[in-house]
Amino acid sequence: MVGLNKNIMRAILIASYVVLIGLIVSALSGIFSYLNTGADRSKMLHTEIQKIEQYLPKIVWEPLDNEGRIMDAQNLSALQNDYLDAWYVKQIAYKTNKIAGIKDYYTDSSRENLYSFIALNKTEKTTIEATTLSHNPTLEFYSEDGQLAVVTDRNVVEYKRVFKADALVLETTETSTYKIIFLLEDGFWRIRHMVKEDNAIYNPEQKIIATDSLNIKGINYYPQATPWNTFGDTFSTDTISKDFKIIKDAGLNSIRIFVQYEDFGKARVKPEMITKLRQTLDVADKHNLKVVITLFDFYGDYSLMNWTLDHRHAETIVNALKDHNALLAWDIKNEPNLDFDSRGQDIVIAWLDNMIDLVKSVDDKHPITIGWSNTQSATLLKEKVDFVSFHYYEDLDKLDEAIKTMKTEIKDKPLVLQEYGLSSYRGLWNPLGYTEEDQAEYHKKIQNILAVNKMQFMSWTLYDFKDIPTEVVGRLPWRKRAQQHFGFINQNGEPKPAFQYISKE
């Protein structure tokens, strides 16, 4: 018994010794690695820091006609960068009620004004999420020594969401005019004074775009070899031309294509992607097909801080293609209602609402729609879109009634069934699935319903695909298999029975 106790004591002593040594070694190595960080000569000039684009509201300077020194492009750009950063840090500060970053962009005395707001809002549990969507600055004055500037920023469009104890109490879009004095301190253009000179509720003019002539009989298009990646490395106008000929010959008049948010380069849209998109439209034009472009696909952020980046994405694409003859309409976002649960319905709707305003401000000729994934959501934002689009993969017997219900709620705008289809997959993962004959029957039946209801349509999709990217339906094989067999043409390029009902009963 005594021997056992002794052994236990020994074990404890040895163990504690080992632990102690371990701690000392890790402490010493911690100190050693701490002393080895920092003064790295290669980083002395901060050459590795690249400007991250995080806030890009539309900014249009009035022609320079300022008093004082003549402004040059480089200084103006520095002023603009710091001014937008000042807005950005302010938005972050009011969103989090923290003061980080403010001192870089506001002088000693002006930052007190922000601090007092943050202190007040913190105690009152008020938080404000905001972003500015457009700026129209005028340079009023630039001092002879280049250290002081006065700017009037007219009609700044500010979108705000005000929360009290985490509950949204106000959503507002305002336009304001600010007069701002900047001082160049420590290489930063800092705000010294900011005076709001005018304010109004923002009410952009709703321009109605005629949709009477719309007669969409179309199809959602992806190339057979590269579904969900039309504009990748394998992009080929020959393939597209061949496919468009099939579509045109089948009696259809339009296609729907998709702009993938990240592939296109987010806020800075890659020029080569625009080129490919334009080439696609050129080919469509050659075959006398019209194109519905879905501006946002594979996008699900919606956060207010990134709105300005999303707007630049849409603006670049719309600006590049708005005069194209083949363009039929802009579809803002594919199935946004699927993000209601994860992101919140109100923020998604607000995002769409503002995106519609943005697209209309760039292109006021082409109609706008949103590709809702079901009939229930179709009435959302019905007053903002020019025609209402929805997708239908449910029971065909209920379609007729669903259309009639929608028509009672949406009286003055065309309805377009923008996606529908049936997978003809019957196999290992779904032995009781539909056959190709079932699929043909489905298309025959739906063409009948569409004709009776005088509905415009775009079916899903031309081809059976071989590879479905994981991002589309996930990894589950039964889902992938089903997604592979929605086409009118099978994987070998032969028309399936459904093909005869592609455009008519």
Partner 1 sequence: MKFKQNYIFVISLILLSSFTIVQNGEKDSDIKLITTQTNFEVGSRIVLKFSSQGEIKPLLYCSNSYGSTLISPHNESGTLEYQIPENISIKIGVLNWKLLNDEHSITGKINITPKAEVATMETYIGPPSIESGGADYTMLVVVPTDSLDNPVPTNTLVTAKNQFLDYEETHDIFTKNLIAYRNINSKKETGRMLVSSESLGTNSKEFTINVSAAIPTNFSISATRSHGYADGNQITTFTTSVIKDQHKNIVSDGTFVTFFITNSKGNILKTTGLTLAGVATSKMIHPDYADSWKIKAYVDGMSESNSISLDYVQVIEDFEVTFSENNREITIGPLQSFMQQMIPDGLHVKLNIYKGNTFVTTLTKTSFNGYVHFKLKPAIFDNGTYSFSIETAGLTKEFKNKKLW
DSSP for 227-239, please give it: TT-TTSTT--HHH
Place of tokens 């506001």: 106
Q: Please report whether residue 135 would count as binding partner 1 according to CB under 8 A.
A: no
Q: Is the Cβ of residue 307 or residue 390 nearer to partner 1 in the bound state?
A: 307
Residue 382 DSSP label: T
Q: Please report whether residue 144 would count as binding partner 1 according to CB under 8 A.
A: yes
Residue 494 DSSP label: P
Q: Please report whether residue 268 would count as binding partner 1 according to CB under 8 A.
A: no
Determine phi and psi for 44, rounding to 5 degrees.
-60, -40
Of 75, 152, 279, 500, the one binding partner 1 by CB under 8 A: 152
| Min CB(113)–partner 1 separation in Å | 4
Q: What is the torsional sign of CA 489, 491, 496, 501?
A: negative
Per the CB < 8 A criterion, the answer to whether 397 and 427 are in contact is no
Q: Environment class of residue 87 by beta-carbon count within 10 Å: exposed (0-12), middle (13-18) or buried (19+)?
A: buried
| Min CB(70)–partner 1 separation in Å | 13
Q: Which of residues 81-110 bind partner 1 (CB under 8 A)?
A: 90, 94, 109-110
- Candidate segments 140-148, 209-217, 314-322, 399-407, binder of partner 1 by CB under 8 A: 140-148
- Candidate segments 46-54, 161-169, 257-265, 453-461, binder of partner 1 by CB under 8 A: 161-169
- Candidate segments 157-165, 206-214, 386-394, 468-476, binder of partner 1 by CB under 8 A: 157-165
| Min CB(166)–partner 1 separation in Å | 12
Of 20, 24, 25, 169, the one binding partner 1 by CB under 8 A: 169
Q: Is the Cβ of residue 47 or residue 109 nearer to partner 1 in the bound state?
A: 109
* Residue 319 tokens, joined: 């600006």
Q: Please report whether residue 124 would count as binding partner 1 according to CB under 8 A.
A: yes
Could you give the angle at the alpha carbon of 372 between the alpha carbons of 368 and 374, nearest 5°?
150
| Min CB(72)–partner 1 separation in Å | 16
DSSP for 163-228, please give it: EETTEEEEEEEEEEEEEEEEEEETTEEEEEEEEEEEEEE----------TT---EEEE---SSSTT
Q: Pick from 118, 95, 114, 96: which is nearest to 104 by CA?
A: 114
The site that binds partner 1 (CB under 8 A) totals a number of residues, namely 49
Q: Environment class of residue 328 by beta-carbon count within 10 Å: exposed (0-12), middle (13-18) or buried (19+)?
A: buried
Euclidean distance between CA atoms 417 and 406, whole angstroms:
12
Of 56, 71, 89, 181, the one binding partner 1 by CB under 8 A: 181
Q: Please report whether residue 141 would count as binding partner 1 according to CB under 8 A.
A: yes
Q: Please report whether residue 195 would count as binding partner 1 according to CB under 8 A.
A: yes
Contact residues: partner 1, CB under 8 A:
67-69, 90, 94, 109-110, 112-114, 116-118, 120-121, 124, 126, 128, 130, 140-141, 143-145, 147-148, 150, 152, 160, 162, 164, 169-170, 172, 174, 176, 178-179, 181, 183, 192-199, 201
